[in-house]
Amino acid sequence: MKTYIVGNWKLNFTVGEASIYLHKLLKSLPIYRDIDVVVAPSLLALQPLSLQIDRHKMKLAAQNGFYQDYGAYTGEVSFSQLRGIVDYAIVGHSERRYILGEDDKMIAKKVDAAIRNKVTPILCIGETESERAFGETSDVIKDQLAGGLREVSDDEIDKVIIAYEPVWAISSTKAAKIATPDEIADAVKLIRKCLADMYGVKLADKVPVLFGGSVNSSNAGGYLTVPGVNGLLIGGASLILNEFVDIIDTAKRVRS
């Protein structure tokens, strides 16, 4: 299976800044056949960057998309509009769940809309700090997986990527809130078991599972060697060119 290195730029960079970053990134990247390098800029930058990008070297992701293809939905952008511009879309990120109020029902419709429009959804799941403290991690993982994949058939599950992002480990500066490879290993094992229960082992094995949460160039290697982890979803560190390139290089080293 390929390795996925995905940079989530969140609400950062103007269109101009994004274009300059992309230019520098493309210059420093060779073509890696076994690594999919992906960046998720703001919606506004996607269209111009899609003209600038070298798709042999990397791909674009949207940070979000709407579940209807068209209609009276002021302010939304649909996956049918994103089709052809992006290859991937982050769906159900915890910031959208907890700041923007998205629930599993809406997230399931977005996953479905992405697949319908030939965009690969990167479905984010993960427990909050208090859910972990109350011993609810397994239930949250199971519920968010079953909820988010509700509309996904056996024929479609190989078009989905799962990202395990424990909410307590996102944008963390404190060592206690950085997930350890062991903690991730347990969660990823559970994710793979849930996928196997839902779709059978053969199909479940085709689903890439990424880890995200304060990944940087120092810890990326450790995370990438956790069994069952096929890549990384990176926020803060993906905004720093050298860091992001170092993480991609690490992925190349670890995987070869």
User: Does 64 interact with ligand PGA (rule: CB under 6 A)?
Assistant: no
- Does 17 qualify as catalytic in the annotation? no
Q: Does 214 bind ligand PGA (CB under 6 A)?
A: yes
Return the sign of the alpha-carbon dihedral for residues 72, 77, 83, 89. negative
Cβ-proximal residue to ligand PGA, closest one: 235
Segment contacting ligand PGA by CB under 6 A, of 46-54, 59-67, 194-202, 210-218: 210-218
Stretch that binds ligand PGA, among 135-143, 196-204, 221-229, 232-240 (CB under 6 A): 232-240
C-alpha 73 chain-centroid distance? 25
Minimum distance between the CB of residue 68 and ligand PGA, rounded to whole angstroms?
A: 25
Catalytic status, residue 76: no
When the beta carbons of 204 and 237 are compared against ligand PGA, the nearer one is 237
Only segment of 20-28, 66-74, 154-162, 213-221 that touches ligand PGA (CB under 6 A):
213-221
Rule CB under 6 A: say whether 236 interacts with ligand PGA: yes
Nearer residue to ligand PGA within complex by CB, 140 or 215: 215
Q: Does 36 bind ligand PGA (CB under 6 A)?
A: no
Cβ closest to ligand PGA, residue 97 vs residue 192: 97
Q: Which residues bind ligand PGA (CB under 6 A)?
A: 8, 165, 170-171, 212-215, 233-237
